[in-house]
Structure 1
């Protein structure tokens, strides 16, 4: 594929436009939430951990928008397959950052539990009255979960239409944001009731949520980057469409090996004779004088008609 990827069907184009709009709205609301929670931040470790998680939540929508632009670039001599996998690479880096910070937050929460450090939440003056900062933080947490949950549910529907794993994971994280909010509020309430350990315990639970999101992102992006077979959204099972391609090509051509991988939202499929996994060195030497062992496959793309079932290794068109 030396030309730009084929145009998406109208339904997919419309869904992509909606996804882009929702990601911009996600960035807007998350930025407001981060600012609001930064203003309300006090001595609660659970609250600070929830705040950091919201800051990290900015990564996925930002990288989706960047990769959506990059994937439109035309193929070049240096990148003959184009940039359709930009989202997987960007998502991998975001997931790696989430994992690293999740581990750090888990360490901080665990250390507080072990050392028995008691948190303290002070008061602030609001409208001429002294108000316990815990009420302010719990209000901020309650408000912070509303936009992500709504946006996450909307994005999840679009992600299923687009079969976009990055968008689906982002939507799943947003939709589950209420759990972080509840955990943060329970931690602050625990401080008010004299259970000092409740705050650190909730911080540990929130950090585990961050760590889970990071590890899940690494798993999903690694499968794509390592040319794994397409997977279902949120699962390690083979995608239904990919399995259908494998089954039907296997039925059309006897004794062949079907290889399928994802390039962005597209599939690429190779059919090779099962008895000959690689290009013979003798043939490779006609193209490479030295180090012919490096050339293991030469593929011819099918464009006009399907190869003859009697000889699938020689496609026509």
Structure 2
């Protein structure tokens, strides 16, 4: 492998990752492949034993959908490794957002379909038959095989999800975060399916449909939440943490760094999420006339050195902060920040 190829594998476009992020990236790739390998066994085993149980069908569909986030993560990671080109001067970081949108749309669509299918079966009073099968010359209730397969799918996803979560935060990768979040919640799918199957064995015909409805609702909820986050990021919303719940703390650090410069009277920035990295437009009001080239370069480096995620950065000196470009410029009292 050439030196250039080694460097390429450790970059997000033209952003060279620090050593800790490089290690996180390598581990995230390994975990994604482990997830795909596990899902192959889980989907196959579930398909072989699901019979006519709605809960098992929903669990099987959920396992199939679980392929999308790790595959989308690996594809997006490959695409973001490309350096900016004449046609794509900002690079290919938006592929992360596209992958997140694709995964969220698939979850939403399949979740809505499964909710409708499960609810229809419940209202129609369908009684799923779970009979006896012969294994090694002995007759056993097929439900026990279903329970065994579902039990197999409980622990690995939880461990994989917990391992991926800190890596998703470190790499600021929303697709990896969505994958980890789904993995952590997969145990509920398996437990719900087990309850449904055991309910059939106890003579509660409706338990299967209710369990399927619970699993379907979980898929639909994941789809809605991830779709909202993906669309907001693609619409250039203010950069947030990887879970999409809070403004990213790097934004305040950027403003504080600029305001601490001796020649800066006021400073305010706009930060948008490009994928793994941020695009920053920083507006600064000088204290005494136009700043020198050296002062602007110092300001640029001071912000860029805060975090590797600050990739595209513009420091623009202005006479006053452009309120029409910075809607959050005024505080609750209507006063402009100092």
Give TM-score scaled by structure 1 length.
Answer: 0.83
The answer for the alignment partner of 2:335 in structure 1 is none
Q: Deviations over 1:66-110 (max 9, x none)?
A: 110010112222211110121110110111011011000000111
- For the 8 Å contact 1:22–1:155, the answer to whether it is kept is yes
- For the 8 Å contact 2:24–2:167, the answer to whether it is kept is yes
Alignment of 1:207-218 (within 5 A): 207-218=216-227
CA apart distance, 1:304: 3.0
- The partner residue of 1:190 within 179, 182, 199 is 199
The answer for the alignment partner of 1:173 in structure 2 is 182
Q: Distance in 1 between matches of 2:226 and 2:160?
A: 19
Alignment of 1:14-93 (within 5 A): 14-93=23-102
- For the 8 Å contact 1:106–1:208, the answer to whether it is kept is yes
Distance 1:65 1:48, change over 3 A: same
- For the 8 Å contact 1:250–1:258, the answer to whether it is kept is no
Out of 60-69 and 249-258, give the one that drifted further. 249-258
CA apart distance, 1:235: 3.9
CA apart distance, 1:202: 0.8
Q: Distance in 2 between matches of 1:123 and 1:64?
A: 42
The answer for the alignment partner of 1:263 in structure 2 is 274
Tell me the SS of whatever aligns to 2:317.
coil
The answer for the alignment partner of 1:149 in structure 2 is 158
CA apart distance, 1:116: 1.3
CA apart distance, 1:223: 2.0
Give TM-score scaled by structure 2 length.
Answer: 0.78
Tell me the SS of whatever aligns to 2:298.
coil
- The partner residue of 2:317 within 309, 312, 315 is 312
Structure 2 spans left out of the alignment, 5+ residues: 1-11, 286-294, 301-315, 320-338
CA apart distance, 1:17: 0.4
- For the 8 Å contact 1:119–1:196, the answer to whether it is kept is yes
- For the 8 Å contact 1:259–1:271, the answer to whether it is kept is yes
Q: Deviations over 1:195-232 (max 9, x none)?
A: 11111111111001101111122122112211111112
CA apart distance, 1:234: 2.2
CA apart distance, 1:65: 0.4
Q: Deviations over 1:15-65 (max 9, x none)?
A: 000000110010001111111111111121011101100110000001100
Out of 127-136 and 263-272, give the one that drifted further. 263-272
CA apart distance, 1:6: 2.5
Distance 1:134 1:313, change over 3 A: same
Q: Deviations over 1:225-258 (max 9, x none)?
A: 1111111232421011223224444565445542
The answer for the alignment partner of 1:96 in structure 2 is 105
Q: Distance in 2 between matches of 1:235 and 1:78?
A: 30
Tell me the SS of whatever aligns to 1:83.
coil
Distance 1:224 1:127, change over 3 A: same
Superposed structure 1 runs of 4+ greater than 6 Å apart: none
Distance 1:228 1:247, change over 3 A: farther
Structure 1 spans left out of the alignment, 5+ residues: 275-301
Alignment of 1:201-212 (within 5 A): 201-212=210-221
